[in-house]
Structure 1
Amino acid sequence: MTAIGIHDLSLATAHHVVDLGDLATAADVDPAKYRVGLGQDRFSLPSADEDIVTMGASAALPILERHGRDGIRTVFFATESGIDQSKSGGMFAHGLLGLDPRARVVEIKQACYGATAALQAAVALVARAPGERALVIASDVARYDLDSPGEPTQGAGAVAMLVTADPALVEIEPVSGLNAADVDDFWRPNDRTTAVVDGGLSMKAYLDALTGAWDDFRARGGAPIDEIDRFCAHQPFTKMARKALARLARHTGADLDDAMQEATFAYNREIGNAYTASIYAGLAALLDGDADLAGRRIGFFSYGSGAIGEFFTGVVRPGYADHLRPGAVAAELEAREPISLADYRALHAAVSPSDEDSETPRVTRAPFRFAGLRGRARQYERTETR
């Protein structure tokens, strides 16, 4: 059977960065509450001329520059930070990236799980037509109320993946385990710009979905726990993934060392919660940070509030390291501009009405920017010639 999976992967984030040490000082709490208790150090914050489209297109651009645009017949845009109730964010990205008009473009939403739904759909489409390629973009901005328990778990980022036959990075194996339950742990009503969260229930729903998905995975013939070498989980904050591995160890009776997933935390500690992109930001960090992955099997646990969990596996391909971009993400993180807490709060509170035309200030240095509204329609533009 032809191997199908992730041929290339690229990560982008936002212009600004908020240090959680500064946030802790302003809130008069011990910084260790955030750095140790949550496992987070900083979070990315979009400028006024950035959003999920600009980050998503910026993540995808290096992939297209490396592999070209031919054969990309599908673009899946996964997000829970949708910018329109009808038009897919993927349509804007498709235009910015200059992709072939002979393509299907669709947005997928199910909280933080959407990117995994997109990845599995892309794998199935390529398996049906191995000569085609699919572009999966996961892009999100996590926003919570100021001074709320969720505030330090904000963030912003995007991951793009090229799905092909005979992939260079990770082959996605066919067996997956699923668990779905109607749970009100996290949601964002249409009239709110920030999420509503029941933290305790969300933790329980996440861990219950993990064990349920694992049991289904094994019942369907998935690899036993002792054949899984690394663990990559959804990371709304990195401490959550530690709890996931501990739960899986108790559930299976296996001795699962945290070293199985330590490398996956590097980027999420810096960008914060990127919702749909967070598990694949973890994969990017694992591929970049672990020196000996060829032939190793990764266990993935993807979760989306509301709630659904999926457990699946992927095997890292021989020669994968030759296809990475050493230092690219580190440079992106280093290039972010620190923002004062006063300016952060002002940006957080800013409201952009959709019923009047506007122009956004030029801030971002990313390849694409949100230029404002014209005729009540969103306008995007390139910031440089590539």
Structure 2
Amino acid sequence: MMTTGLEAISFYIPRVYVGLDALAERQGIDPEKFSKGIGQEKIALPGHDEDIVTMAAEAAQLIIDKYGADGIDTVLFATESGIDQSKAAAVYLHRLLKLSPNCRCVELKQACYSATAALQMACSYVARKPDRKVLVIASDVARYDRDSSGEATQGAGAVAMLVSATPKVAEIGAISGLFTEDIMDFWRPNNRRTPLFDGKASTLRYLNALVEAWRDYQSNGGLSFEDFSHFCYHIPFSRMGEKANSHLAKTNGVPVDAQKVLPGLIYNRQVGNCYTGALYLSLASLLDNAEDDLGGSNVGLFSYGSGATGEFFDARILPGYRDHLFTQQQRRMLEERESVSYDNYAALWEEIDLSKGAPEQARGRFRLAGVEDEKRIYVDRNA
């Protein structure tokens, strides 16, 4: 069978954040409700001149700079923070990255799950055409009503993955376990900027989808629980990853081992929820922060999108993978961020009239300069 998987994986996080201690003070509650209760510390905040396209471009440019764009003829852009009801964000991204015009570009949506659909499609495509490569993007801004129960689970970021028939980081397994049910645990009608949700129901359905997807994975001939050195889960908040890890262990009748999940939670605690990118930020966190060399080991991955679709699949980490990571750049990106006050956070949360131009707040190469005649204007500062 043809080997397909990740040749590279990278991410981008905006330069400012608000600490959850500021939200706790605003709400008059103990900060440990956030730091221990949901396991979160910071919320990444995009500037008014940043959105899913600029963040995606920053994440992908790291890969393009190192590996080039040769062979990329498909861009699959997963998001639930769409900027247009018709035109795919992938098309804007395609121009910013200066990719070949002989390229297909589409946008995928199913809550937080769609990046996994994109990854599986990409692997199938490069297995059929091993001389081609696919750029998979997961980019989102998680935004909830202020002073709501979901406010502490906001965040923003983008993850880029280069999928090819010559993977250097991880081989994606051919077996998946799938589960879908029509439920209303989280949704956002077209007339709303922020979602509607039932937090308790969503947590319960997430765990149910995990078990059902795992059982389907097993019935399809997947690896046994003991074959996995680590697990990565969709992480709307890091405590959810711990709950999922415990639930899956108990389902399999084995002792809970927190070390199988903790390295994959480090970045998410500092960033918050980035929806479609949350699972893959967890994978990047595991690859960057695992103390032992993971080369040759198996990692289990569970993807969940409310509404709801879940998928469990496996990845084999390849020997020498550390030579193809962006660990130092990504750690520096997180370390060099700036904290803002609650008032400044509130100002960034509010929408502004982009027809008058956007203030220069992005730290990166790409920015949204404004909107002219209902057209979004993106610029490359290096052009």
TM-score by length of 2: 0.98
Which residue identity lines up with residue 276 of structure 2 in the other structure? T
Contact 1:11 1:59 in 2 (8 A): yes
Deviation at 1:384, TM superposition (A): 3.0
Deviation at 1:64, TM superposition (A): 0.4
Residue 360 of structure 1 pairs with residue 361 of structure 2: no
Residue equivalent to 1:304:
305
Residue 168 of structure 1 pairs with residue 168 of structure 2: yes
Residue equivalent to 1:349:
350
- Please, which moves more after superposition, 334-343 or 230-239? 334-343
Residue 225 of structure 1 pairs with residue 233 of structure 2: no
Alignment of 1:11-90 (within 5 A): 11-90=11-90
* Secondary structure at 2:221 match in 1: coil
Which residue identity lines up with residue 359 of structure 1 in the other structure? G
Contact 1:2 1:166 in 2 (8 A): no
Q: Distance in 2 between matches of 1:358 and 1:222?
A: 54
For structure 2, which runs of at least 5 residues remain unmatched after alignment? Answer: none
Q: CA offsets, 1:57-81, max 9 Å, x none?
A: 1000010011111110110000000
Q: Distance in 2 between matches of 1:191 and 1:229?
A: 44
Residue equivalent to 1:258:
258
Deviation at 1:164, TM superposition (A): 0.6
Q: Distance in 2 between matches of 1:55 and 1:260?
A: 29
Alignment of 1:181-220 (within 5 A): 181-220=181-220
Residue equivalent to 1:374:
372
Structure 1 runs (4+) deviating above 4 angstroms are: none
Which residue identity lines up with residue 91 of structure 1 in the other structure? V
Deviation at 1:362, TM superposition (A): 1.2
* Secondary structure at 1:40 match in 2: coil
Which residue identity lines up with residue 317 of structure 1 in the other structure? L
Residue equivalent to 1:287:
287
Q: Distance in 2 between matches of 1:28 and 1:165?
A: 53
Which residue identity lines up with residue 11 of structure 1 in the other structure? F
Q: CA offsets, 1:10-63, max 9 Å, x none?
A: 110113200011211221111110001111010101111000000001000010
Q: Distance in 2 between matches of 1:248 and 1:282?
A: 17
Q: Distance in 2 between matches of 1:325 and 1:245?
A: 27
Deviation at 1:374, TM superposition (A): 1.4
Contact 2:41 2:269 in 1 (8 A): yes
Deviation at 1:325, TM superposition (A): 2.2
Q: CA offsets, 1:217-265, max 9 Å, x none?
A: 0000001111111100000000001111111112111223010011001
- Please, which moves more after superposition, 251-260 or 74-83? 251-260
Contact 2:267 2:281 in 1 (8 A): yes
Q: Distance in 2 between matches of 1:189 and 1:335?
A: 36
Alignment of 1:317-328 (within 5 A): 317-328=318-329
Which residue identity lines up with residue 237 of structure 2 in the other structure? F
Deviation at 1:351, TM superposition (A): 4.2
- Please, which moves more after superposition, 159-168 or 337-346? 337-346
Residue equivalent to 2:271:
271
Q: Distance in 2 between matches of 1:293 and 1:379?
A: 42
Which residue identity lines up with residue 182 of structure 2 in the other structure? D
Residue equivalent to 2:381:
383
Deviation at 1:133, TM superposition (A): 0.4
For structure 1, which runs of at least 5 residues remain unmatched after alignment? Answer: none
Q: Distance in 2 between matches of 1:24 and 1:286?
A: 29
Q: Distance in 1 between matches of 2:23 and 2:382?
A: 34
Q: CA offsets, 1:92-112, max 9 Å, x none?
A: 111000000101100000000
Q: CA offsets, 1:168-224, max 9 Å, x none?
A: 000001000000000100011111111111001100110010000000000000011
How many residue pairs get aligned? The number is 382
* Secondary structure at 2:17 match in 1: strand
Q: Distance in 1 between matches of 2:303 and 2:338?
A: 31
Q: CA offsets, 1:119-156, max 9 Å, x none?
A: 00000000010110000010000000000110010000
Q: CA offsets, 1:313-355, max 9 Å, x none?
A: 00000111111223211111123222221121122122447xx
Which residue identity lines up with residue 378 of structure 1 in the other structure? R
* Secondary structure at 1:266 match in 2: helix
- Please, which moves more after superposition, 357-366 or 237-246? 357-366
Which residue identity lines up with residue 15 of structure 2 in the other structure? H
Deviation at 1:158, TM superposition (A): 0.4
* Secondary structure at 2:107 match in 1: strand
TM-score by length of 1: 0.97
Q: Distance in 1 between matches of 2:242 and 2:155?
A: 19
* Secondary structure at 1:267 match in 2: helix
* Secondary structure at 2:327 match in 1: coil
Q: CA offsets, 1:345-378, max 9 Å, x none?
A: 122122447xxx3311111121100011112100
Contact 1:18 1:339 in 2 (8 A): yes
Q: Distance in 1 between matches of 2:130 and 2:316?
A: 19
Q: Distance in 2 between matches of 1:108 and 1:359?
A: 29
Q: Distance in 2 between matches of 1:43 and 1:327?
A: 21
Instruction: Report % sequence identity.
Output: 48
Residue equivalent to 1:125:
125
